[in-house]
Amino acid sequence: MVLTEQKRNYLERLSTKDGVISALAFDQRGALKRLMAKYQDTEPTVAQMEELKVLVADELTKYASSMLLDPEYGLPATKALDKDAGLLLAYEKTGYDTSSTKRLPDCLNLWSAKRIKEQGADAVKFLLYYDVDSADELNQEKQAYIERIGSECAAEDIPFFLEILAYDEGIADATSAEYAKLKPRKVIEAMKVFSDPRFNIDVLKVEVPVNVNFVEGFGEGEVVYSREEAAAFFKEQEEATNLPYIYLSAGVSAKLFQETLEFAHASGANFNGVLCGRATWAGSVEAYIKDGEAAAREWLRTEGRQNIEELNAVLDKVATPWTERV
């Protein structure tokens, strides 16, 4: 990363005073629709999705260093952020073409890094599905796509956060033990690829390198990794990049995510914060759909606030300032 003065100022806006990124992720679109649809018979409306994002922004950004939103349903929420909270905007279309295993990246048609910056964002976030074992031609296509976004962000002098979701083209169920065995290498090798300066990436948003449900002592069922093996993968991940990196919560419970961060730190991972989504706010969806705005606010002020304050207390102990990696 080339840290210009302007990009440093942006990154400081996104971080705590200690240089840790404690960000709230609510750029979910397809996943949010599916969550909402669990509690109502009709298709979730644009107004519902926009309002819930506003409620979460209004109630929880006073406890977060920044918030990640999407330009499709999240623009009203950008106006509800706490005055001290930074803003990241997602640049990718939601989901991927399920008729193919390629999972090609695609930008939102009406957006650009320039437009995201003009919207008041402090960073551009882009999500990429990447299988290090795909055909070279496919992965070269994905790399070229990321190079374009990196060049755009460099031209606009705005930080570029790349979110990498590893997968295997041959395994449909990413929650399976079969995939859990492959996951560490998939995650770590993808991080190595995108740490190359040619991509102009400033921060990597990544998965933890194991499926914690299969780590000895964490999950209930089958054990794929001993604690020692899992710890070694966290250490290997730390050594895979010289860029600042932050963890995504991947929809696990708040408690499990906090325990995972403590384990990561104990294993030698000097990660620089989190972009935590559903682990913080997921419970507000049911309250909102069943009982409306007031009930959602009440959930956010109690459970939601507790989730984020407990997470912040963990980060205070285990996260490393990104300034130590630049």
Closest CA to 210 of 221, 200, 219, 220: 219
What pLDDT is recorded for position 219? 87
Q: How many Å apart are CA 240 and CA 234, to the nearest integer?
A: 10
User: Residue 176: is its pLDDT beyond 90?
Assistant: yes
What's the average model confidence in pLDDT over 280-291?
A: 98
Domain boundaries, the chain: 5-320
What pLDDT is recorded for position 221? 84
Give rounded-to-5 percent helix, strand, coil for the chain. 50, 15, 35
Q: How many Å apart are CA 299 and CA 281, to the nearest integer?
A: 9
Q: How many Å apart are CA 133 and CA 315, to the nearest integer?
A: 33
Which residues, including other chains, have CB under 8 Å from residue 233's CB and lie 6 or more apart?
Answer: 184, 188, 209, 210, 225
Determine the 3-state secondary structure of 318 from DSSP: helix
Closest CA to 276 of 258, 249, 253: 249
Contact criterion met (CB below 8 Å) for 208 and 184: no
What pLDDT is recorded for position 173? 97
**Rg of the Cα atoms in the chain:** 19
Q: What pLDDT, in 10s, does the model give residues 257-280?
A: 999 999 999 999 999 999 999 999
What's the average model confidence in pLDDT over 161-188?
A: 98
Predicted confidence band of residue 136 (pLDDT cuts 50, 70, 90): very high
CATH topology of domain 5-320: TIM Barrel (3.20.20)
What pLDDT is recorded for position 262? 98
Q: What pLDDT, in 10s, does the model give residues 15-34?
A: 999 999 999 999 999 999 99
% pLDDT > 90, the chain? 98
Query: Tokens 């695609």 sit at which residue?
Result: 106
pTM higher than the cut 0.75: yes
What pLDDT is recorded for position 3? 95
Q: How many Å apart are CA 321 and CA 326, to the nearest integer?
A: 10
Q: How many Å apart are CA 176 and CA 274, to the nearest integer?
A: 24
What pLDDT is recorded for position 78? 98
Q: How many Å apart are CA 4 and CA 19, to the nearest integer?
A: 16
How many angstroms separate the Cα of 314 from the Cα of each of 28, 29, 63, 107, 196?
24, 28, 14, 34, 30
What's the average model confidence in pLDDT over 302-316?
A: 98
What pLDDT is recorded for position 193? 99
Q: What pLDDT, in 10s, does the model give residues 211-268?
A: 999 999 998 889 999 999 999 999 999 999 999 999 999 989 999 999 999 999 999 9
Q: What pLDDT, in 10s, does the model give residues 42-91?
A: 999 999 999 999 999 999 999 999 999 999 999 999 999 999 999 999 99
